[in-house]
């Protein structure tokens, strides 16, 4: 019988690498995103005007924002701001002039009108 040599596995401790990340957290990241969005919006509007594309800028900016929001860092912050602002504007345009606040305010005015009509009844 021939004996086979078995390999001996040696586990070594791998020292984790130290990474230096700049933590731009919270409000700083949002402010950077808003500033970048203002610049990007002007750039996109100029680009659409020069190329004579008949696309609404909100649609283009929403798509670009959706793509960029998955990124890390400054591009991700700009993408998040761009996506949420333009998605809100698109939904607002689709809904038109529907004001949800007026739906509930009409209920109270109708009730007061009914009360006024009842005050002019025969029994007063």
Nearest residue to 32 (alpha-carbon basis) of 80, 85, 64, 88: 80
pLDDT score at 83: 92
What pLDDT digit, counting tens, does each position of 6-23 carry? Answer: 777 778 888 777 766 666
Q: Which residue numbers in the chain have pLDDT < 50?
A: 109
Query: What are 87's two structure tokens?
Result: 């998605």
At a CB cut-off of 8 Å and minimum separation 6, what does 34 contact?
A: 81
Look at residue 92 in the predicted model and tell me its pLDDT.
85
Where exactly are the structural domains of the chain?
A: 27-97
Predicted pLDDT at 73: 84
């Amino acid at each position: 019988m021939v004996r086979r040599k078995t390999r001996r596995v040696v586990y070594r401790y791998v020292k984790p690498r130290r990474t230096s990340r700049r933590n731009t957290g919270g409000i700083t990241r949002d402010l950077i995103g808003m500033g970048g969005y203002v610049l990007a919006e002007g750039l996109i509007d100029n680009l659409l005007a020069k190329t004579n594309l008949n696309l609404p800028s909100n649609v283009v900016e929403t798509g670009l924002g959706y793509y960029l929001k998955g990124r890390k860092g400054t591009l991700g912050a700009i993408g998040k701001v761009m996506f949420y602002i333009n998605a809100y504007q698109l939904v607002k345009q689709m809904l038109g002039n529907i004001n949800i606040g007026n739906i509930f305010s009409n209920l109270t005015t109708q009730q007061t009108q009914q009360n006024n009509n009842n005050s002019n009844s025969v029994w007063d």
